Structure formats: structure tokens, C-alpha cells
Amino acid sequence: MLIASDSNILEEEYNVDDPTESVSIPTIIIAKDFGDIIREYTKLKQDKNEHIVISMKFSGVKEGGFVELELFMRSDDIKARDFFSEFLYYKEKLGNKLKFTPIYKYSKFVNEQFDNSLSEKSTAPCVKETRMCATPNHALQIDNGRRVLLENIRETCIYQEFGQETYWNYMNQFNLLCFDTKNPLFNEECAMNVFKKVQVNENDDSLLTKCMNQLIEYESKIDSDYSTFAKRKIYSIPDLFINGVPYRGSWYSKYIFRSICNGFLDDSKICEGINPRDLLYHQRIGNTLLFFIIIITILVTCFSLLCYKRYINKSLEDTMNERIQEQAMKSISQYQKFRDTKPGGVLELVNE
């Protein structure tokens, strides 16, 4: 959908998606002057009953050197956590071309309890005097928002102190062991068991604890994360930025990778086989396949119902024949028995 603004000055807020995600329409907003040109040209062609084809091409976007992915998330967000396992293949494909940065969401509460310790048993949902807080997630049986808050800080420290690879390993292991939606173990004990699986040295536990305390005590990345959310105007999570540009597309990893190759990365070796038209082609194939599946399902269902109807009718017919035959044999037997009891074969009418 091409939208012409009523102004020649475009604000970044114009490109904010519907936060309910109920509508997904690829949209481009252009300045008023460009819109007027297209509108006049369109009217001219329509008056002559001529067809119009408008082609839009983006140029000068590819960086060529590296790709920076910024994931805006909370540690208890299902969609964000699934990203780590689903995108793992493409992360390895990108190799050292990829720089990944997680940015965690914190809330600012008023007159709430705060506790700057690392105690998970505390019910205070905030640290830093209510500047950094988190809410519960009852859908995952996380009734104490402090568990989300501390996991945000823990994951931030793993990323900051141990690097991208250890962080990514931790996130995937945490998903497997602690984030089962049917039986979530979203707590410190499970998190530390996962950390022991991915840590490099035995003294990493103390380094992690020291980092978490420092993040709470001093100005740190959690303050920076809060500011970045406000600066980038992030209204819903998860959200993904590629080289500072908000990603607006399907969260299937192959589509994210295609967007990286088509718009941001100029590397034929990594992006080999990526065709900008692949997405449309696969969508058409998928729609065609879905249509045939529906048709086949309907035909199989109709055939099954027909066979079942014939089976029922045959069963009823067989049952009726058996009962008729059984009744006839019974009548013949009674007649034979009655005749044998009378001398000379004299018959009498008997009322039963």
C-alpha cells in the first residue's frame, strides 16, 4: 500500500505498526510532492484507459561489512525466545558478519517496593528505587515479576561478560530446560543449572553475581536499555532492528535472513541462492498446495461418508433378512411340531 502524506516532512512515528498485530499490510509512506506527481500521472492514464505499473526500488541500503541485529525483548517473551533456536542456523551461516545485541525491557513504577539484592524470594518488583521494574507473567505461572526482572539482568550479564556465543548457548539451553510452556521452571535454580552447562571456568558463577550487583548498583546497560526503548519508540515486544532499521515482516527465520541479504548484506558467498522473488514464489506454491489439500480432504470425506452410508444400509438389510429368516424358521418349526401332535395330520387353529 502506497500512502501519500499531506506533508513533505515525514516523521518516524508514521511508520509504527499496529500494536495489536491484527493487520499486516506492507506500507510505504511518501512525501506530498511525490504523491501529487503520481496522482496526476495516474489520473492522466486512467482518462486514456491505459494500464499503470509502478515499480519501486530501494538502493544504497546494503552496508556490505556486517549486520547488526538488535532484539528488543523481555526474558519471559515466548516469541523472542523462540527466535534463538529458530535463527541459530542462519546465525552460524552469517558467522562473524553478525553482531547481535539484546535490549531488555524494563518498566518504571510509582510508589512500588524495590529491593536491590539478588534475592528471588523478595516480592519487590523493582530495583534502583522503582526505576527498573518488571510485571508478572501469569500465563507462564510467573506470579512474581521479580523473577522476570532478575532473569533480564542475568541474561544481560551473560551477554556482557561472556560474549555472544555463550549468551546464545545459554538462551537455547534455557529454552529447553526452563521454558517449557506446559511446565515452566522459570527460576534462579534452573537458570544457574543452565549456566553451569555453558560456562567456561569454574569461577564464572562469582563473576556473574558480581556483574549483576554492579548493574543494579551503578549506571549500566540496564539503564541504557531503558533509554534505548524510549529513544527508538518501541511500543510492543518483541521487536527487531537490522542495522538500525526496524524490521517489518514475518518472524520466520528464513524471511529475516532474506531481508538481511536483500537489503543489508553484500556477500554472495553467504547469501548464495537467495532470490528476492523466492518469497512470492513460495507463497504461491504454499497457497496452491493448501488448495489441493483442502480439495483432497473434501473428496476423501465425501467418499468416506458414501462408503459408510452403504455399509450401514447393507448392515440393516442383512439384519432384517436374518430376523425374517429366523422368524420363518421358527414358524415352520412350530407348524411341524403342532402337526406331529395330531393323529392323521388334522390341523386345528390355535390362538397364541
Q: What angle do CA 11, 14, 19 make, to 5 degrees?
A: 140
How much is the pLDDT for 122? Answer: 92
Instruction: State the pLDDT at residue 321.
Output: 74
C-alpha–C-alpha distance, residues 131 and 108, integer Å: 5
pLDDT confidence of residue 98:
92
Q: pLDDT at position 64, please?
A: 60
Closest CA to 271 of 283, 254, 287: 254
What does each C-alpha distance from 241 to 6, 33, 83, 238 come to in angstroms?
A: 28, 29, 14, 10
- Spatial neighbors of 10 by CB under 8 A, at least 6 apart, are 29, 31
The whole-number pLDDT of residue 276 equals: 45
| % of residues, the chain, pLDDT over 70 | 83
Between CA 243 and CA 255, with CA 249 as vertex, the angle to 5 degrees is 80
Rounded to an integer, what distance in angstroms lies between the CA atom of residue 215 and that of residue 279?
43
The pLDDT assigned to 77 comes to: 93
Cβ–Cβ < 8 Å for 78, 181: yes
For residue 223, what pLDDT is reported? 93
Q: Compute the distance between CA of residue 243 and CA of residue 348 in angstroms, rounded to an integer.
A: 108
Cis status of the peptide bond prior to 184, with omega within 30 of 0: no
φ/ψ of residue 335, rounded to 5: -65, -45
Could you tell me if 79 and 240 are in contact, meaning their C-beta atoms sit under 8 angstroms apart? no
Nearest Cα neighbor of 265 from 293, 297, 290, 243 is 243
- Angle, helices 188-198 vs 204-217, to 10°: value is 130
- Sequence ranges of the domains in the chain: 2-47, 67-274, 281-340
Rounded to two decimals, what is the model's pTM?
Answer: 0.64
Closest by Cα among 67, 124, 55, 73 to 94: 67
Please give the single-letter amino acid code of residue 228. Answer: T
Q: Which residues of the chain have pLDDT under 70?
A: 12-25, 57-64, 273-287, 334-335, 337-352
pLDDT of residue 50: 85
Q: Which CATH number fits domain 67-274: 3.40.1350.10, 3.40.30.10, 3.30.9.10, 3.40.50.180?
A: 3.40.30.10
**In angstroms, what is the C-alpha Rg of the chain?**
35
Amino acid identity of residue 185, one-letter, is L
Q: What is the pLDDT of residue 165?
A: 93
Task: Supply angle C-alpha 63, 240, 147, rounded to 5.
Answer: 140
Percentages (nearest 5) of helix, strand, coil residues in the chain: 55, 10, 35
The answer to whether 173 and 166 have CB atoms below 8 angstroms apart is no
Residue with cell 539478588: 118
- pLDDT at residue number 352: 47
Q: Cβ distance 204 to 217 under 8 Å?
A: no
Distances (CA, A) of 221 to 113, 159, 233, 323: 22, 11, 18, 86
The two counts, helices (H) then strands (E), for the chain are: 9, 8
Report residue 75 CA to chain centroid gap. Answer: 15
User: Measured between alpha carbons, how far apart are the two ends of the chain, in Å?
Assistant: 87
* List of long-range contacts for 38-45, beta carbons under 8 Å, 24+ apart: 38/2, 38/4, 39/4
